[in-house]
Amino acid sequence: MRPDLTLQAQPDAGAVARAAADHIAARVRARGNLTVLVATGSTPMATYAELARRVQAGTLDLSRVTAVQLDEYQGLSDPDPRSLWEWMDRSFVAPLRITRTVRFDPRAAPQDTCRDYDAAVAAIGGIDLAILGLGLNGHLGFNEPPSPADAPTRTVTLTPASLESNRVYWDTDVPTQALTAGMEVILAARSTLLLVTGASKRAALGRLLTGPPSPDFPASLLSGEAVTVLADRAALEGQGPAPVSAVRA
Ligand code: F6R
Q: What angle do CA 91, 95, 96 make, to 5 degrees?
A: 105
Contacts of 47 (CB under 8 A, 6+ apart): 16, 17, 20, 21, 24, 131, 195
Query: Which residue from 40, 77, 84 is spatially nearest to 179, judged by alpha carbons?
Result: 84
Q: Give residue 1's pLDDT.
A: 80
Active-site entry in 50, 118, 128, 144: 144
Query: Which residue from 188, 130, 181 is spatially nearest to 154, judged by alpha carbons?
Result: 181
Q: Give residue 173's pLDDT.
A: 78
Q: Could you tell me the sign of the dihedral formed by the alpha carbons of 201, 233, 67, 41, in that order? A: positive
Give the span between the Cα atoms of 7 and 1, in whole angstroms: 10
Strands 6-10, 66-69: pairing kind: unpaired
The three-state secondary structure class of 102 is strand
Is ligand 1 within 6 A of the CB of residue 13?
Answer: no
Low-confidence ranges of the chain (pLDDT < 50): 243-249
Q: Ligand 1 centroid to 114 CA: how many Å? A: 20
Q: Read off the pLDDT of residues 121-157 as tens digits, 9 standing for 90 and up.
A: 999 999 999 999 999 999 999 999 999 999 999 999 9
> Which residue's CA lies nearest to atom 9 of ligand 1?
141
Active-site entry in 23, 128, 137, 143: 137
Is 144 a residue of the active site? yes
State the burial class of residue 63 (Cβ atoms within 10 Å of its Cβ: 0-12, 13-18, 19+). Answer: middle
